[in-house]
Structure 1
Amino acid sequence: MSVSVSKSVFTYLKKLEKHNDRDWFGDNKPEFQTVQKEIKLFYNGVLDNLNAHDEIDKLKIFRIFRDVRFSKNKLPYKTHFSGSFHRVKPRLRGGYHIQIKPNNGSFIATGFWDPAPADLMRIRKEFEMDDSEIREIINEDSFKKTWGGFVGDEVKTAPRGFNKEDKAIDLIKKKQYIFIKKYTDAEVLDTNFITELSTSFKAIRPFFDYMSDVLTTDLNGVSLID
């Protein structure tokens, strides 16, 4: 599906950043509703493209309203749009995320943001047992050109129960397995942006296929799902 992000989205978000208060937001609600409609069309266009080569069971477009209950920053509104796409579980693992933000703050992300403790342990044990397959995937030239390397939090030395001298410790000590790709405003506004997203997301599939296989089997390779 061919849908693009218009300049009006960035124009609105820049104004919201300067006037981040409820009175201004209320006075300009029609403009927000117009932009929000466009963003929903864009994210649903991405969803259609993803489902052409993957299986997505849920699209979640996050609200513009900030949760300020536990934050020192009491500004009521986000100055970006974002949404996530969840693959069909339990058979398929991983997900996709898109943030649209002016001043070159847009990015896409894939991977595992907050793996459950059992999943994180399973991943680490797999890497401890054999790290050759994951390295072959993430070091493949076209993959690295598209996604670069892992980003995310990690422990300082080694997780409990693992040897800090293990040859796979650089992978084992990670707490998140995330890839991020950033975009300029000009790239986001390009009419081919939605196609570029589909191409980049498709490039992550070898990683997702591998991780899905790991997380749906035990250490002996026996399936954990029916």
Structure 2
Amino acid sequence: MDFKNQINFLKALQKNNSKEWMDANRKWYKEVRNDFIKWLDMMNTKLAAIDDEYYDTPGKKGINRINNNLMFHPNKPIYKDHFGAGLDKRPNTGDFYIEIGIERSMFAGGLWRPDPKRLKSIREAIDYDGEELKKILKKKSFKQIFGGLYDDVKLTNSPKGFFNDHPHIDLLRNKTFAVAMEFSTNEVLKDDFEEMVVGVYKEMLPFRRYLNKAVTV
């Protein structure tokens, strides 16, 4: 994978963020996109080999659109400043997200502001076995990579059906159950980047499995 070419494309796109520029450079965009899809296919195979429950996600299914959704975010530029994709992307669950940007890249996983039904299922799982989730979050290597849960909107009071003295009230108040690891885009140019992807995937896996079991069982 020629990540340098991908980054150079993104830099040029952000300096000329317009449909006219994209149309004039469509061949370059397709070259970069197809290269990224092939890399995702390779990682899809590699991750499936280490995870018996892995959900096959070819690059074309995993890759996200480069266009911003201007209907909901009209003030954003037409095109994103990164390429993003989700692997192990089982429907209605949290995938393993990879984002390659200009200055900042990231890995992420979990569920970002899940709908009320799935949020209720996660809270029920925490009520039943919150210690298991806390054990995952407190693991030293997990904390070193992700820090903790992604800092997002939380309830000020206990959610419906739970009391403020619940032993896991700190978790139950969350509306987002996700983790992320940001890293310099220069990391993708290193020879061991694929090993880095695999290592982060493995570290995140128990967390994602806990959540996905909660919303599917």
TM beyond 0.5: yes
The answer for the alignment partner of 2:38 in structure 1 is 41
Residue 165 (structure 2) pairs with residue 168 (structure 1): no
The answer for the alignment partner of 1:134 in structure 2 is 133
Question: Of Structure 1 and Structure 2, which has the larger fraction of its residues in helix?
Answer: 2
Rounded to whole Å, the distance in 1 between the matches of 2:8 and 2:161 is: 51
The answer for the alignment partner of 2:85 in structure 1 is 83
How many residue pairs are counted as aligned between the two chains? Answer: 211
SS of equivalent to 1:53:
coil
The answer for the alignment partner of 1:221 in structure 2 is none
Gaps of 5+ in 1: 218-226
CA positional deviation for 1:140: 1.4
SS of equivalent to 1:203:
helix
Q: Is the 8 A contact 1:97 1:109 kept in 2?
A: yes
Residues 187/74 of structure 1: CA separation in 2 closer, same or farther (3 Å cut): closer
SS of equivalent to 1:204:
helix
The answer for the alignment partner of 1:109 in structure 2 is 108
**Percent of residue pairs bearing the same amino acid type:** 28
Rounded to whole Å, the distance in 2 between the matches of 1:182 and 1:62 is: 18
Alignment deviations for residues 199-222 of structure 1 (CA, whole Å, 9 cap, x no partner): 1101122223433444454xxxxx
CA positional deviation for 1:82: 0.5
Residues 138/70 of structure 1: CA separation in 2 closer, same or farther (3 Å cut): closer
The answer for the alignment partner of 1:66 in structure 2 is 68
Residues 159/88 of structure 1: CA separation in 2 closer, same or farther (3 Å cut): same
SS of equivalent to 2:56:
strand
CA positional deviation for 1:163: 1.5
Q: State TM-score, norm by structure 1.
A: 0.83
Q: State TM-score, norm by structure 2.
A: 0.86
Rounded to whole Å, the distance in 1 between the matches of 2:209 and 2:69 is: 34
What's the Cα RMSD here? 2.1
Gaps of 5+ in 2: none
Give the structure with higher Rg (CA). Answer: 1
Residues 5/174 of structure 1: CA separation in 2 closer, same or farther (3 Å cut): farther
